[in-house]
Amino acid sequence: MFSCVGYAASSATAPLEAITFERRDCGPRDVQIDIAYCGVCHSDIHTVRSEWGPSFYPCVPGHEIIGRVVRTGGDVTRFIKGDLVGVGCMVNSCRHCHSCEAGLEQYCDALPTWTYNSPDPAFPKEGAHTYGGYSRSIVVDDHFVLRVPENLDPAAAAPLLCAGITTWSPLAHWKVGKGHRVGVVGLGGLGHMAVKFAVALGTEVTLFTTSPNKVEDGKRLGAHRVVISRDAEAMQAEANRFDFILDAVSAEHDVNEYLGLLRQDGHMVLVGLPEKPMSVGAFTLVGKRRSLAGSAIGGIQETQEMLDFCGQHNITADIEMIKMDQINEAYERVLRSDVKYRFVIDMASLPETA
């Protein structure tokens, strides 16, 4: 084992601060990565604050990781020292259930080992949990390491590892493309990637936002139309219009307002994960054979496909770079929907020791 510096919360109400913790040594199938950048996902905040149930503490979040390979185990053939690589939300899974065999490790029957806040069977001591990317380095099984195109700005590519794949996967699964009218709800980290991807796929994109000050940005990002979702009249005018709506909202809101905007046989897919259950009116779904579904990140193979697509089309996130000690302030800004459109931590700003 070796010691690693990171930033952690010690409880659901504590701010994040520097700590030292232990990582496992690089095993035969492992890749050891020096972390250069890590994106700040709203899931980090939900988890650090135990909003989805009690978390393990200390909690080192971060699952939008970009860095360079510094060491590889003897059985690793896909990577060599110096490669630019990424790690997203998962670092392992059972590899043999139906979902794993289909390349959809995020739906593993045994649950994937999440990059942070997950029991860690690979750690040499009992009872350990995983620590994420707000840290100096990470050791990951090579199956869960992604290749990052060298032409992309590595800091702006970090959010592709979660916000990117989470919005790419449902667009691919529901075969969204040319001729479709797509709605994106919420212009945050996920929402702004959804707008970029839906535009790149040739759809007509309408952004729904609660923030009037994001109208111009929505258009700059490529949305053809922007609707202020708090304007009841404007919302009514959108009824029965959409083939596909992606809901990337992090907080409680009324999904029925959007279900009514789907045309017959339209799909609405939730990727946002508000902490409380929501209510759904049966009549809105039944009346036009609409469907409501959910989607979690994406499999490893499709994450690689998404990264390669981003390399070819030069797609990255719009980011605000922060230093590690600005993280608590950044969380407050995310909670106020005041981020354009992803914070990324420059890991060079981590202290040498905790």
Residues that bind ligand NAP (CB under 6 A): 41-43, 46, 162-163, 166, 186-191, 209-211, 214, 248-251, 253, 271-273, 295-297, 334, 337, 339
326 binds, among Zn ion, ligand NAP, none (CB under 5 to 8 A by kind): none
Among 4, 33, 41, 84, binds Zn ion (CB under 5 A): 41
Phi, psi of 151 (to 5 degrees): -75, -10
Note whether 90 binds Zn ion by CB under 5 A: no
Window 271 to 300, contacts with Zn ion (CB under 5 A): none
Partners of residue 247 on adjacent β-strands: 185, 270
Q: Which stretch binds Zn ion (CB under 5 A): 98-106, 177-185, 243-251, 256-264?
A: 98-106
Pick from 151, 130, 96, 170: which is nearest to 24 by CA?
Answer: 130
**With respect to ligand NAP, which residue has the nearer C-beta, 18 or 296?**
296
Note whether 182 binds Zn ion by CB under 5 A: no
Note whether 100 binds Zn ion by CB under 5 A: yes
Q: How far apart are CA 108 and CA 102, in angstroms?
A: 10
Residue with tokens 């993280």: 327
Pick from 196, 133, 197, 207: which is nearest to 169 by CA?
Answer: 197
Q: How far is CA 33 from CA 87, 298, 335, in A?
A: 9, 22, 30
Q: How far apart are CA 156 and CA 129, in angstroms?
A: 28
**With respect to ligand NAP, which residue has the nearer C-beta, 23 or 61?**
61
Pick from 98, 94, 82: which is nearest to 143 by CA?
Answer: 94
**With respect to ligand NAP, which residue has the nearer C-beta, 6 or 88?**
88
**With respect to ligand NAP, which residue has the nearer C-beta, 4 or 60?**
60
Give the number of C-alpha atoms closer than 13 A to the C-alpha of residue 337, restricted to the C-beta side: 15
Q: Name the minimum Å distance from CB 298 to Zn ion.
A: 12
**With respect to Zn ion, which residue has the nearer C-beta, 69 or 162?**
162
Q: Name the minimum Å distance from CB 181 to ligand NAP.
A: 19
100 binds, among ligand NAP, Zn ion, none (CB under 5 to 8 A by kind): Zn ion
94 binds, among Zn ion, ligand NAP, none (CB under 5 to 8 A by kind): Zn ion
Among 26, 40, 43, 83, binds Zn ion (CB under 5 A): 43
Among 12, 70, 97, 285, binds Zn ion (CB under 5 A): 97
Q: How many CB atoms lie within 10 A of CB 179?
A: 9
42 binds, among ligand NAP, Zn ion, none (CB under 5 to 8 A by kind): ligand NAP
Write out the H or E segment, with its range, that includes residue 303. helix 300-313
Window 136 to 175, contacts with Zn ion (CB under 5 A): 162
Q: How far apart are CA 27 and CA 84, in angstroms?
A: 20
189 binds, among ligand NAP, Zn ion, none (CB under 5 to 8 A by kind): ligand NAP
Q: Name the minimum Å distance from CB 207 to ligand NAP.
A: 7
Q: At CA 266, angle to CA 265 and CA 272, rounded to 5?
A: 140
Q: Name the minimum Å distance from CB 188 to ligand NAP.
A: 2
Q: How far apart are CA 239 and CA 72, in angstroms?
A: 54
Q: How far apart are CA 252 and CA 293, in angstroms?
A: 17
Q: How far apart are CA 208 and CA 197, in angstroms?
A: 16
**With respect to ligand NAP, which residue has the nearer C-beta, 9 or 139?**
9
Any idea how long the chain is?
A: 354
* Residue numbers at the binding site for Zn ion (CB under 5 A): 41, 43, 93-94, 97, 100, 108, 162
